[in-house]
Amino acid sequence: MAQQREAAIVGIHEYPKRYAPDVSAMNIKAVSIKAALDDAGLKWSDIDAIYDAQDGEGGAGLGLPSYLGIKPTVIDTTQVGGSSYEFQAAHAMRDITAGKCNVAVLSYGSKSASLRTPIGTGGVSGGGSWQANMEAPYGQTLIAGYAMVAHRHMHEYGTTSEQLAQISVATRHHAMRNPQAVEAMNDLQFVGVNEITVQDVLDSRVVADPLHLLECCMVSDGGGAVIIASKDVARNTAKKPVWLIGSGEATKYRENGGDITTSAGAQSAPIAFGEAGVSASEIDVAMVYDSFTITVAVCLEDLGFCKKGEIGDYISDGKLRYDMPGGPALNTDGGGLSSNHPGMRGIFLLMESVRQLRGESTSQAANAKLAVAHGNGGQLGGNHAGGTVIMAAD
């Protein structure tokens, strides 16, 4: 199948603050939408489709048009945790290709830091539902699900904490080059806003074996918006379009006898790469959901950058840095580990891919032409969703 160039990301805006006690989540979404439209050179009245991950107020798909005062004719409320935005980008691409809309808006606003929402490391298990009844009595925390994946990966393949720490080190290196990430780490009172070493990661306290504190994403406020437009609209926008050329979706869950070290990405990635007509070896930039280091490790394998079980060796030479050869530049904005994680990070994966393919990143990969954004939502090892989006420079 010939590569399609029917829809493109034409505008982005990342809300600059990671601690925003004085604004509402809806305001973060609205301000970001306006700024992303400005980035694209489009108007408020151009919006004809919204994609809403139930992060605001007033009901999914209901509160946002009211708050914005718009009347879209495509209303999508896909919510699959942190990967919602990769799914939404795929749906916008589909809806635009089908002629249902021309200017699609994805938005996110969250107050996780200022409202002290437990996301990952301190989570309190609930109860009263089918699955919670089978997990809450055992003290299941969100991070523990990921940690059990990491332990099994280490057991089967000999992966080490030293190797996983490379992901934290590369990501922090990128964060220190991104002024917004530095401000975020300062505002959220990180201990040591500086470059880190593998030893620093290993010396940080263990939250759930084998995962250390510096292998965990932050809990921040924040949000942003992404504008996706049809090719006709994209021809006249302010900046060069970034084309959506392939997407794939999948879910995975705990199964009797199942392999916990393989994620939904093993299903979504081949679909996306097949649609795009490219392979992982051609990818310049990989924006992969870094809730924890193990998430990146498993997803890079499932995206096809190396074989299952070989991620430890693959990353041990530091090739994930933006200026290192031999592999994709990883999470060049500083990632969820060191820049921005308000709960559903998927939208930032799209944004930084766009910056890279426009040549605007603070850790710009040389001559970046192809990027992959892979969101992993829910809980790795338990119910989770994988959304893969392949993007190409104009």
* Shortest separation between residue 116's beta carbon and another protein, angstroms: 11
Q: Is 308 in the site for another protein (CB under 8 A)?
A: no
Residue number with CB closer to another protein (148 or 244): 148
Q: Is 158 in the site for another protein (CB under 8 A)?
A: no
Interface pick for another protein out of 25, 26, 68, 147 (rule CB under 8 A)? 147
Closest CA to 185 of 228, 219, 211, 159: 219
> Residue 163 corresponds to which amino acid?
Q
* Shortest separation between residue 331's beta carbon and another protein, angstroms: 24
* Shortest separation between residue 171's beta carbon and another protein, angstroms: 22
The torsion of the CA quartet 94, 98, 104, 110, rounded to 10 degrees, works out to: -30
Q: Is 50 in the site for another protein (CB under 8 A)?
A: no
By rule CB under 8 A, what count of residues binds another protein? 43
**Region of 25-33, 73-81, 140-148, 363-371 interacting with another protein (CB under 8 A):** 140-148
**Region of 71-79, 130-138, 320-328, 339-347 interacting with another protein (CB under 8 A):** 130-138
* Shortest separation between residue 251's beta carbon and another protein, angstroms: 14
Task: Give me the DSSP letters along 21-63.
Answer: TTS-HHHHHHHHHHHHHHHHT--GGG--EEEE-S-SSSSTTTH
Residue number with CB closer to another protein (147 or 357): 147
Residue number with CB closer to another protein (59 or 122): 122
CB 10 within 8 A of CB 234: yes
**Region of 25-33, 201-209, 228-236, 334-342 interacting with another protein (CB under 8 A):** 201-209
Residue number with CB closer to another protein (69 or 128): 128
Q: Is 99 in the site for another protein (CB under 8 A)?
A: no
* Residue 49 CA neighbour count, 13 Å, CB half: 24
CA 316 to chain centre: 23
**Region of 133-141, 180-188, 284-292, 300-308 interacting with another protein (CB under 8 A):** 133-141
Query: Could you say which residues in the range 250-269 bind another protein, by CB under 8 A?
Result: 254-258, 260
Strand order in the sheet with 222-230: 74-76, 49-52, 103-110, 222-230, 7-14, 242-252, 384-393, 370-378, 285-288, 329-330
Residue number with CB closer to another protein (71 or 116): 116
Q: Is 203 in the site for another protein (CB under 8 A)?
A: no
Q: Which residues pair with 230 in a beta bridge?
A: 7
What is the b/e burial string over 242-276, where b = at least 16 CB atoms within 10 angstroms of the residue's CB? bbbbbbbbbbbeeeeeeebbbbbbbbbbbbbbebb
CB 257 within 8 A of CB 52: no
Residue number with CB closer to another protein (31 or 154): 154
3-state secondary structure of 200: helix
Interface pick for another protein out of 1, 138, 191, 367 (rule CB under 8 A)? 138
Residue number with CB closer to another protein (336 or 382): 382
CA Rg value for the chain: 19
Q: Is 191 in the site for another protein (CB under 8 A)?
A: no
* Shortest separation between residue 304's beta carbon and another protein, angstroms: 24
Distance CA 242, CA 359 (A): 11
* Shortest separation between residue 145's beta carbon and another protein, angstroms: 8
Closest CA to 76 of 49, 108, 36: 49
Q: What is the DSSP letter of 7?
A: E
Residue number with CB closer to another protein (202 or 324): 202
Q: Is 207 in the site for another protein (CB under 8 A)?
A: yes
Those residues with Cβ within 8 angstroms of residue 250's Cβ, 6 or more apart along the chain or in another chain? 264, 265, 266, 267, 268, 271, 385, 386
Interface pick for another protein out of 79, 121, 267, 383 (rule CB under 8 A)? 121
Q: Is 155 in the site for another protein (CB under 8 A)?
A: yes
* Residue 334 CA neighbour count, 13 Å, CB half: 22
Q: Is 127 in the site for another protein (CB under 8 A)?
A: yes
CB 346 within 8 A of CB 377: yes
For another protein, the binding residues (CB under 8 A) are 118, 121-125, 127-141, 143-144, 147-152, 155, 205-211, 254-258, 260
